Structure 1
Amino acid sequence: MRSFLTTIAARLRRDQRGATAVEYGIMVSLIAVVIIVAVTLLGGTLQDTFKQVQCSVSGGTYAAGATAGKGVCTPKAP
């Protein structure tokens, strides 16, 4: 019985599938944290860029505000 348990214990120590799954889980969570931080830091700038594009497409002139994302779109006079 003891040799049977020793064999099973040795087999479990060699099995790396669980460790690989944990490593992938850690990598995915770190990538998610990096994405969240990047979006948080660049959020205002991205919002400002999209507002500028929207204003240009509608034919207006965009004036950036003092803080990111606070610009004003003035339509062109007919």
Structure 2
Amino acid sequence: MQKFIKAFVRDERGVSAMEYAILAGIVVIALVAAGSSFSTAIGNLWSGITGAMTSSTPGSK
């Protein structure tokens, strides 16, 4: 049993997968935070674009 525990502690094959999972989690958190902080600005931008396209199309008046 001691050999198994020592071998399990020394085994580093899954470490890189864990590092990638943590890094991916950090990236997701950063993207959500950025999206939340810019959501109003992005909504206003799309509303402006939609309004400009609607007013410039022929027959829309």
TM-score, normalised to structure 2's length? 0.75
Structure 1: gaps of 5 or more residues: 61-77
Separation in 1, partners of 2:45, 2:7 = 58
Separation in 1, partners of 2:7, 2:36 = 47
- Displacement, 1:17? 2.0
Q: Which amino acid aligns with 2:39?
A: G
Report the structure, 1 or 2, having the larger helix content: 2
Residue in 1 that maps onto 2:38: 42
Residue in 2 that maps onto 1:71: none
Separation in 2, partners of 1:39, 1:11 = 41
TM-score, normalised to structure 1's length? 0.60
Separation in 2, partners of 1:11, 1:52 = 59
Question: Which 4+ runs in 1 deviate beyond 4 A?
Answer: none
Identity among equivalent pairs (%): 20
Separation in 2, partners of 1:44, 1:24 = 32
Report the structure, 1 or 2, having the larger strand content: 1
Structure 2: gaps of 5 or more residues: none
